Structure 1
Amino acid sequence: MSGLSDILVQLGVGIVPLGVAYLAFRSATDASRKSQQSALLQVEHQAEVERSKVDAEAFIRAKTIYEDALAQMEKQMSRMQGQASQLGAELVTEQSSSVAMRDQIRRLQAQIRALERTVLVLRSQLVDAGLSPAPPSDLTGPHRLGP
């Protein structure tokens, strides 16, 4: 029996290093897995930081573009308001000129009516004096009626 116990002892002594080796292997793989996870988390964190930087830069560019567009729109609005004011002033001037021209036309029409009445009076005076008024086609002067 001593042969069997010797084999059992040797087997026990041989299993202990195998168990230790297995535990060392497990610890090493766990450590390796944890370091890979840690490295992966660091890479993900770094990628997130880079995405944040890119997003921040894109936001700054978009903000700059927006502010430039807004400034241009404000300048254009200011120019348009100036042009509207100028057009308003021109409209007032044109309306004043239009009113003045209408008044002048009314005065000229009144003068024409007065001249037409004068022509009628003069025509009747010419006829009463025995002279013929000028025919519509001949405006050179009075013509005598008869011989």
Structure 2
Amino acid sequence: MATIPELLIQVAIGAVPLGVAAFAYRSATDANRRTQETAVTAAERQAELERTKVDAEAFARARQIYEDALAQLEKQLDRVQAQADRLSAQLAQEQDASNTMRDQVRALQGQISTLERTVGTLRRQLISAGITPQAGEGR
């Protein structure tokens, strides 16, 4: 039979592998948990990266649409400005023509007034000379 010290040594030698096994189990469990946490963190980072990538693509598309719309508005503004310039020039020409015609109408009205006075004077002279004025052929 074995003595107590030999039994204690055998138990101690038997306990070492159990301690090593428990330590290995605990280390493996901690490593698995850390691996899972790392995987979750990596997945979260990847998801955030994908969201950022989608946001960047959407921003780029929106920026392109905005720039295209801005370019079209600038072209339209240039066309409207050119049309306004043409209309302004045309208006100035029309105003000049109107002023010229107005001056001509005033001159003609002055001539008509002068002619009417002359006709009146000639009529009075004819009547005072004893001649009855005759209406024109068209009257």
Q: TM-score range by the shorter chain?
A: 0.7 to 0.9
| 1:83 matched residue in structure 2 | 83
User: 2:60 & 2:107 partners in 1: Cα distance?
Assistant: 69
- For 1:1-20, what aligned pairs fall within 5 Å after superposition? 15-20=15-20
| 2:125 matched residue in structure 1 | 125
User: 1:72 & 1:140 partners in 2: Cα distance?
Assistant: 69
Q: Which has the higher contact order (CA 8 A, sep 6+)?
A: 1
Q: How far off is 1:88 after superposition?
A: 1.2
User: 1:22 & 1:87 partners in 2: Cα distance?
Assistant: 95
> Deviation per CA, 1:39-76, whole angstroms, max 9, x where unpaired?
11211121122122112211210111011011101100
- Corresponding residue pairs, total: 136
Q: How high is the sequence identity, in percent, across the aligned residues? A: 56
1:140–1:105 Cα change, 3 Å: closer
**Equivalent position amino acid for 2:54 in 1:** V
Alignment root-mean-square deviation, CA = 2.6
**Equivalent position amino acid for 1:59 in 2:** F
- For 1:56-135, what aligned pairs fall within 5 Å after superposition? 56-133=56-133
**TM-score between both structures, scaled by the size of structure 1:** 0.77
User: 1:52 & 1:88 partners in 2: Cα distance?
Assistant: 52
